[in-house]
Amino acid sequence: MESTIIQNNIQIIKKDIKNITLKVKPTCEVILTAPLLTTDEHIEYILKKREDWISKKIAFYKANYKLQIKEFVSGENFKYLGKNYRLKVIQSGEECVKLQRGYIQIFIKNKNNLEKKKRLLNDWYLLKAQKYFKKIIAKYSSIVNVDIQNIRIRQMKTRWGSCNSAKSYINLNTELIKKSTYCVEYVIFHELAHLVHPNHSREFYNYLSTYMPDWKKRKVLLESKS
């Protein structure tokens, strides 16, 4: 069973994995993921050992990244499939979101209703993700040749995707729809490949390299600011 605690502004997640991973996000969030049986003492040791690295990462992100708080007003930029689109908020009796004339357009009764604008746009992203991800899955599922029981598309805080090989389903982060096709294909094939090779073993990466030789470039782009 997965467990999560917050300690000294560091998110510590214990779950059914083999190795410890440590990440610092552009938001300066520090996330350590460890196997279920990892002791608190060992986690403290890892954090102490990587203390300088964590500090440098946080300093870099503070210097180079500006966390933008969206106001959902006309003129703001929003990403879709790796491209920036200007937002246009239009007062209308019919409430919906459309991508047209080079704009993401929100049609809404009350242009000042921030929560409704957020909900409309998030629902639009989800709908686009459901359609587009299934298209990419169809492209790569013939390679893995494993029956996929379920595809879950939802908001995920720390991962672009995950896979349950035992139950043959994959999870995909809705936010992935904002990334380029190049990145979307990498994440989806990465998770589908886990249906064949459940762990991050040498066999898994050999498999990935065989069918997607440029996966490392895709991964770098995925994790970049753009």
Three-state SS letters, 113-162: CHHHHHHHHHHHHHHHHHHHHHHHHHHHHHHHCCCCCEEEEECCCCCCEE
Q: Considering only 11-20, 57-66, 126-135, which range has the smallest mean pLDDT?
A: 57-66
Length in residues, the chain? 226
* Cβ-based neighbour number of residue 7 at 10 Å: 13
Q: What pTM was computed for the model?
A: 0.72
CA angle 29, 25, 185 (to 5 degrees): 140
Residue ranges of the chain that CATH labels 3.30.2010.10: 129-223
Encode pLDDT of 183-206 as tens digits. 999 999 999 999 999 988 999 999
End-to-end, the C-alpha distance of the chain in Å comes to 34
**Mean pLDDT for the chain?**
90
Q: Measuring CA to CA, how many Å separate 163 from each of 99, 194, 199? A: 31, 7, 10
Say which range, 98-102, 155-159, 207-211, 214-218, has the weakest mean pLDDT. 155-159
Beta bridge partners of residue 108, listed in sequence order: 91
pLDDT bucket at 212, cuts 50 / 70 / 90 = very high
Has residue 128 got a pLDDT over 90? yes
Which tens digit of pLDDT belongs to each residue from 71-119? 999 999 999 999 999 999 999 999 999 999 899 999 999 999 999 999 9
Q: Is the pLDDT reported for residue 157 higher than 90?
A: no
Task: Report the pLDDT value the prediction gives residue 158, as an integer from 0 to 100.
Answer: 74
State the residue for tokens 């930029």. 77
pLDDT at residue 199, as a whole number: 87
The pLDDT score that the predictor gives to residue 59 is: 85
Going by C-alpha positions, the residue among 164, 146, 143 that lies closest to residue 212 is 143
| pLDDT 10s digits, 3-17 | 555 556 788 999 889
* Distance in angstroms (rounded) separating the CA atoms of residues 199 and 59: 33
CATH superfamily of 129-223: Metalloproteases ("zincins"), catalytic domain (3.30.2010.10)
**Predicted pLDDT of residue 88:** 96
